[in-house]
Structure 1
Amino acid sequence: MSLIGSDRVRAVVGLGVTGLSCVRFLASKGIEFYVVDSRENPPGLEQAKAFCSEDRIFTGDLDVLETLGVTELFVSPGIALRTPVLARLAERGVAMRGDIDLFCDYVDAPFVAITGSNAKSTVTTLVAMLLQACGKNTKAGGNLGLPALDLLSPGTDFYVLELSSFQLETTHALQADLACLLNVSEDHMDRYKDLYEYQRAKQKVYRGCKAAVCNKQDILTAPLLAEGVPVRAFTTKSS
């Protein structure tokens, strides 16, 4: 069931592959929205015009967001939440969401969420193949292959999502059936103040999960979960 309210003023911030998937999805649900991109001619602009009237598309400057009365933004992963106009709007209570948060509003089948500094594409692909080998109608994507919103379809038994730290920044209630953080090492340090800010973003994969998998050899992957949530740890060591 959708958790999208009808009294909100929404904007998709940033086009490209993920932003365009949000545009298509919101339009398919009959939800009105703006499109805003800092670039004059962003990728996906012409395609977006098929789903959003041109008078609701603004390019060249994100500051226009402050004039639109927005209450909810779907921010593309490539745009940092510390971008000044986004930081100002967040302080005023504007919701900063992403495509994965929107996916969670509508998904109606179990899903696995996988993140990590390394090997997440390999593990996502392997898990999807294992489920398919068991005869399950399984779709894989997210940060790998198709955007998560493009995966949603009736009759799917499982979804397997590769998630980046950028996507997790704007994901607030993931609630995966199984969440896995493979490893944490310095990455995207141009985006994060330090390793621990990056780790906090990665750890959001565990929020509300029904079960978790972590790396016994990497303390930074250890989850803090409510009592009773099963946790399994993997290791490459024999003991």
Structure 2
Amino acid sequence: MKKQRLVILGGGESGVGTALLGKDKGYDVFVSDKGTIKEKYKEVLIHNEIEWEDNQHTESKILNANVVMKSPGIPDAVAIVQQLIKKGIPVISEIEFAAQYTKATLIGITGSNGKTTTASLTHHLLKQVLNVGLAGNIGDSFAKQIIEEGFENYVLEISSFQLDGIINFKPKIAIITNITPDHLDRYDYQFENYIASKFRIAMNQTKDDFLIYDADDDVITNWLKSHPVQSTLLPFSLTKVIENGAYLDKENIIITIDNNQINMSTSNLALEGKHNIKNAMAASTVAHLLKIRKQTIRESLENFQGVEHRLEHVLKINKVQYINDSKATNVNATYYALESMDAPTIWIVGGVDKGNDYKELFPFVNEKVKAIICLGVDNEKLLSTFVNMVDVIVETQFMSEAIKIAYKIADAGDNVLLSPACASFDLFENYEDRGRQFKDAVRNL
């Protein structure tokens, strides 16, 4: 019998992990990357005798596939993907490919913002008691963990691009943290397309599965009214009383599932800000569903360290607090960051604009921001938007210079906040690189 051919487009973390799982399951595997594959991934492919190419896509070796796993960074619009679709060859994501090879309980988390924090926090709550992996858009590849670790539970952070490539994927528990316009360049600038993409996380769920979501998010609640799902719904809210799900009563989170109620004070939460109360509600609801004790949940919420590059307090120098929020790659993420500032703020912003509308930030900028440093190749839109709102607005293309300017402008008691509201690819490798450069520059002051 001829082996099934698995072709993988993109030789990064998800691509190489899928290649390892594919080989283990008896596929004839080929990895193709239009760019250069990193040395550490090349070594893994060579060591495992998996055929690969980089800096090109050889059509004859790709169009004979039975199934293709596409890295989430590759848009559907590229020529090779369009050719595959025309030929009727399934093009799927790593999440779809890997999920069929595990019987583990899957917890899938998506949303425009908060998904990394919610996924990390959920994993932190569950790992005290359960055998659980953390994968998807975060950490080691899901596919690789299935062969190497074989966890009984997985918390998966899933982007809309990964959800676009699912067919049968069905998490036992799904979370949608929120939906705000993001990545619209990949969705024909139609917000509806992007919303539909996020809701694919629940498309295969039945009444025995659960969907946890933000009931204060009008985009989510309106979509559910007109596009009902089969899942058992467990909403969370800061403003409404929720019968089945989680809500905030003064300082207490109250979670009810099938008349089984727990309540916990928010006064000692390790993470600050309203949005983090929501992240805590979502994660705690999962923990409550999976029968983790209240005491364990409470202790875990109080000792959780947070996520690197997400409102990360770096250093205090001359009574000025430097905060790294490089992970804020869209306006809504920056909204949360500015909302949580409690001192005059020097805001470092800019990068690749994905069709941003900065209007929702105006009240915070007027109230809290004393200076803006634009850090991008093209800062035209930022300059024209904010020039009349702050006394000082400057632009630079170097992180080290941005930090020196901030240092000069800052007074004791101020915050210097890197919260770019944009993607990083114009000046940096990725948001992690941008965040690390910020931290290095601060430490070198």
Greater Rg, structure 1 or structure 2? 2
State if a TM-score over 0.5 links the two structures: yes
The reply to whether residue 14 of structure 1 matches residue 10 of structure 2 is yes
Instruction: Give the unaligned 5+ runs of structure 2.
Output: 242-445
Partner of 2:194: helix, strand, or coil? helix
Q: Is the 8 A contact 1:101 1:173 kept in 2?
A: yes
Q: Corresponding residue for 1:221?
A: 220
Provide the C-alpha distance between the structure 1 equivalents of 2:26 and 2:150, rounded to a whole number of angstroms.
Answer: 22
Q: Is the 8 A contact 2:3 2:28 kept in 1?
A: no
Q: Corresponding residue for 1:190?
A: 185
Q: CA deviation at 1:178?
A: 0.6
> Residue by residue, what CA displacement relative to the aligned partner does 1:148-182 show, whole Å, maximum 9, x if unpaired?
11222666332111111121111221211011111
Instruction: Summarize the alignment of residues 124-135 of structure 1 with structure 2, pairs less than 5 Å apart.
Output: 124-133=119-128, 135=129
Q: CA deviation at 1:200?
A: 1.8
Output the amino acid matched with 2:214. N
Output the amino acid matched with 1:190. D
Instruction: Summarize the alignment of residues 67-106 of structure 1 with structure 2, pairs less than 5 Å apart.
Output: 68-106=63-101
Instruction: Summarize the alignment of residues 34-183 of structure 1 with structure 2, pairs less than 5 Å apart.
Output: 34-39=30-35, 41-43=36-38, 44-53=41-50, 56-62=51-57, 64=59, 68-133=63-128, 135-152=129-146, 156-183=151-178
Output the amino acid matched with 1:50. H
CA gap of 1:106–1:73, structure 2 versus 1, over 3 A, is same
- State the percentage of identical aligned residues: 23
Q: CA deviation at 1:62?
A: 2.5
Provide the C-alpha distance between the structure 1 equivalents of 2:186 and 2:212, rounded to a whole number of angstroms.
Answer: 26
Q: Is the 8 A contact 1:9 1:33 kept in 2?
A: yes
Q: Corresponding residue for 1:201?
A: 197
Q: CA deviation at 1:75?
A: 0.6
Q: CA deviation at 1:198?
A: 1.6
Q: Is the 8 A contact 1:114 1:180 kept in 2?
A: yes
Alignment root-mean-square deviation, CA: 2.3
Q: Is the 8 A contact 2:9 2:69 kept in 1?
A: yes
Partner of 1:62: helix, strand, or coil? coil
Q: Is the 8 A contact 1:182 1:221 kept in 2?
A: no
Provide the C-alpha distance between the structure 2 equivalents of 1:86 and 1:65, rounded to a whole number of angstroms.
Answer: 14
Q: CA deviation at 1:45?
A: 2.7
Deviates more, 1:57-66 or 1:82-91: 57-66
Q: CA deviation at 1:19?
A: 0.8
Q: Is the 8 A contact 1:110 1:158 kept in 2?
A: yes
CA gap of 1:171–1:116, structure 2 versus 1, over 3 A, is same
Provide the C-alpha distance between the structure 2 equivalents of 1:67 and 1:128, rounded to a whole number of angstroms.
Answer: 37
Q: Corresponding residue for 1:33?
A: 29
Output the amino acid matched with 1:10. L
Partner of 2:154: helix, strand, or coil? strand
Partner of 1:106: helix, strand, or coil? coil
CA gap of 1:197–1:10, structure 2 versus 1, over 3 A, is same
Q: CA deviation at 1:126?
A: 1.7
Determine which structure has greater relative contact order: mean sequence separation of CA pairs < 8 Å that are 6+ residues apart, divided by chain length: 1
Q: Is the 8 A contact 1:36 1:65 kept in 2?
A: no
Q: Is the 8 A contact 2:103 2:152 kept in 1?
A: no
Output the amino acid matched with 1:233. P
Deviates more, 1:101-110 or 1:62-71: 62-71
Output the amino acid matched with 1:205. I
Q: CA deviation at 1:88?
A: 2.1
Output the amino acid matched with 1:218. D
Output the amino acid matched with 2:238. T
CA gap of 1:59–1:132, structure 2 versus 1, over 3 A, is closer
Work out the number of aligned pairs and report it: 230
Q: CA deviation at 1:30?
A: 2.9
Instruction: Give the unaligned 5+ runs of structure 1.
Output: none
Q: Corresponding residue for 1:212?
A: 211
CA gap of 1:155–1:92, structure 2 versus 1, over 3 A, is closer
Provide the C-alpha distance between the structure 2 equivalents of 1:58 and 1:145, rounded to a whole number of angstroms.
Answer: 24
